[in-house]
Amino acid sequence: MKNIGIIGASGYTGAELLRLIAEHPEFNLQIATGETQAGTAIRDLYPSLSTAYPNAHFDSFSPEIVDGLDLVFCALPHGVSQNVIPDICETVGHIVDLGSDFRLKDPSLYQEWYGSEHSCPELLNDFVYGLPELFRNEIEGAHLIAATGCNAAAAIFALAPFVQSETIENDSIIVDLITGVSGAGRPPKENTTFCAVSGNITPYGLLTHRHTPEIEQALTTFSGGTSSVLFTPHLAPIDRGIIATCYGRTKSEVSTEEALNQLAEFYKEEPFFVVDERPPSTKSTLGANTVHLTARVDQRTGMLVSISALDNLVKGASGMAMQNANLALGLPESLGIPSLGLYP
């Protein structure tokens, strides 16, 4: 058994990690911190977890609380992990950071896209980017892993096969994405209350969304050619789910059948991917680590459309973090991770 800790377990991604760890045959949860909920019983904040954690409470964090653990998940808001990880990286076996603090390699991008300088830029190159389907070899056995952001993952999954094959132009990619409210986190915000969200769809982060450089970095690293992305997310009145509709101008003649075949061939060995002619839906991914994909080519405009759907809290966050953890610890990558969605 591997001894596991979660720093920031009281948020939505932390709660999802608690759910997945409870079902993992090789993971033994030792520590679950939650600063705003310290001393609160896990079952009181999340009754859905009562049978797995009948007596457990959220702890306050201190660096020594995780000493000697095999792996620690950090499920903290942006800007917090970079102040925590330097104090624990030498005392735990592996760290999987679900936040955005160590995803970008260029420290100047944090000032540009996040509005503040990175507090420990010397660690950026020590982290590997935690997107298993594209960078599995780097993740295996890695000590420090920066798990992919949920919006970025949805876009990258839809685009990577076509960027790699040079089917589309890299410099004019458009990503139009819809996401559920849980992506904004558990603490209430003015734009995520019931009255603000119900019956409403709102674009946000226009031209400035922080996942933009992450998408560009991953596609550029993977394909070897510089990618430029115009990314526009929209908040929708659903609990979970992301659907990303991605557009790229084709470089040469390609049919819808060929585009679908490219997707299917690219992901044929991946256990968490479904490629289908049918359009994907967020409902089909609910509670699962599975991505549903389709593609079309519009001969009239010369544009390729690739669409992905995933659960933002599972494949977009905690499920992908579990894949990274399995790879880091030398376990089967899909061990303990659900692939079947809930319906209705």
Confidence (pLDDT) at 293: 98
Per-residue pLDDT of the chain (344 residues; tens, 9 = 90+): 999 999 999 999 999 999 999 999 999 999 999 999 999 999 999 999 999 999 999 999 999 999 999 999 999 999 999 999 999 999 999 999 999 999 999 999 999 999 999 999 999 999 999 999 999 999 999 999 999 999 999 999 999 999 999 999 999 999 999 999 999 888 878 889 999 999 999 999 999 999 999 999 999 999 998 999 999 999 999 999 999 999 999 998 999 999 999 999 999 999 999 999 999 999 999 999 999 999 999 999 999 999 999 999 999 999 999 999 999 999 999 999 999 999 98
* Predicted structure pTM score: 0.97
Q: Which residues contact 75 (CB under 8 A, 6 or more apart)?
A: 6, 7, 8, 9, 11, 13, 14, 17, 98, 99, 317, 318, 321
Say if strands 242-249 and 303-310 run parallel, antiparallel, or are unpaired: antiparallel
CB proximity list for 235: less than 8 A, separation 6 or greater:
178, 179, 181, 183, 184, 191, 192, 197, 201, 202, 203, 204
- The highest-level CATH class for domain 2-126 is alpha beta
Burial 111-130 (b: 16+ CB within 10 A, else e): eebbeeebebeebbeebbbb
Residue 35: DSSP 8-state = G
Q: Which of these CATH numbers, 3.30.413.10, 3.30.70.100, 3.40.50.300, 3.30.360.10, describes 151-312?
A: 3.30.360.10
150 is catalytic: yes
Tokens of 172: 């004019």
Q: Give residue limits of the domains in the chain.
A: 2-126, 151-312
Angle of the 132-139 helix axis to the 150-164 helix axis, nearest 10? 90
User: One of 89, 120, 150, 246 is an active-site residue; which one?
Assistant: 150
Element (H, E) at 162: helix 150-164
